Amino acid sequence: MNVLEFKEATIRFGGLTAVAPLSFAVPRGQLAAIIGPNGAGKTTVFNLITGVYAPTGGEIWFEGERIASAGKSLAPHKLAHKGLARTFQNIRLFGDLSVEDNVRCAFAGRAGYGLASALLRDGKQARQEAWIAEETAELLKLFGLAERAHIQARNLPYGDQRQLEIVRALATKPKLLLLDEPTSGMNPTETETVTRLIRSVRDQFDISVLLIEHHMSLVMGICERVVVLDGGVLLADDVPQAVQNNPHVVAAYLGEPDPELDEAIEHGHAIA
């Protein structure tokens, strides 16, 4: 069973085809990566999945349910409630809020009480807030952020900010976690830590992970599947070893001329 499936999903901005009809699937429980040179359309694919953009053609399915089709898509917060969580390429924390409150904000979809309870501060509100506080504390402890729970998020060190973004995403109880360049701007040691973290998150939380990454060591080291994009078309969709030896991928990364790829981008179809 696939957690995520692209069926010929495509998006055009005016005359520019950012993602040509693209089909791929992420089976449940898999740790997959999307790679590709700059401008390949990786983040656009993320924005399609999370409902920031609606595709101009094709369909996107999540957990056996169609979440987007030509011209329409579920709102991002509804997708989040369904189990899609993401982090951002440039960290987007709630800077002025405490670490703890950043995580608690992610319970918006599961808070379980309404306006009346909130205004009256009744027993239901108390129970639910206690539960949220407990879950938050547990998550923060798990990721070693418990001691910094009351610090403003903007004052966290860079590495912790990336980590907090992942914790916040996990607090929505996702089925699929999308990580947009989780190691960008990190040194090799930090990259190593994040790599281990991603794998343990997948195992412990029993979720699927799709990530965009430039660090090949991370991609080849832990990912079970690699989807390669260039110019908005699918170059390869395979296990890491096969992708590494794919001549089109090598050409795209080294910038060598590849007439077959040029032709594919021209006509907007996949190579693989």
Partner 1 sequence: MNGARFADFAVHSRFLIVVSGIPSPVSLVMNSRSLPAKIALSAAVVALLLGVQAMLGRYFNEYVQQIVLYAGINIILAVSLNLINGITGQFSLGHAGFMAAGAYSAAAFTFYVGPQITARFQNEAAGSNVVFIVALLLSAAAAGIAGLLVGLPSLRLRGDYLAIVTLGFGQIIIVLITNIREVGGAAGMTGLPLMTNFVWVAALMVLCVLSVRNLAISHLGRSMKAVREDEVAAEAVGVDTTRAKVLAFVISSMWAGVAGALQAHYIQSAHPGSFTFIRSIEVVIMVVLGGLGSITGAVVTAVLLTGLTEVLRSITGAFAVGLSLVLFAAVLTLPRYRSAMRQSAMGWLLWLRWPLLSGVALVAGFVFGRDWLEARVAALRFVIYALILIVLMLLRPQGLLGRGELSWSSLRRSRSATTPEAEGASERSEPVDEGVRGTL
Instruction: List interacting residues with partner 1 (CB under 8 A).
Output: 50, 52, 75-77, 80-81, 85-86, 88, 92-98, 101, 104-111, 113, 115, 117-123, 125-126, 128-129, 132, 150-152, 155, 168-169, 171-172
Least Å from the CB of residue 232 to partner 1: 23
Least Å from the CB of residue 177 to partner 1: 12
| Nearest residue (CB) to partner 1, 39 versus 95 | 95
Least Å from the CB of residue 28 to partner 1: 21
| Nearest residue (CB) to partner 1, 80 versus 140 | 80
Residue found under tokens 């709102």: 75
| Nearest residue (CB) to partner 1, 10 versus 87 | 87
| Single-letter code of the amino acid located at 190 | E
Least Å from the CB of residue 42 to partner 1: 17
Distance CA 222, CA 51 (A): 27
Residue found under tokens 């994040």: 194
CA 181 to chain centre: 9
- The DSSP annotation for 149-183 comes to TTSBGGGS-HHHHHHHHHHHHHTT--SEEEEESTT
Least Å from the CB of residue 168 to partner 1: 6
- For the chain, the farthest-separated pair of C-alpha atoms sits apart, in whole angstroms, at 68
| Nearest residue (CB) to partner 1, 129 versus 237 | 129
| Single-letter code of the amino acid located at 224 | E
The 3-state secondary structure of 96-114, one letter per residue: CCEHHHHHHHCCHHHCCCC
| Nearest residue (CB) to partner 1, 125 versus 191 | 125
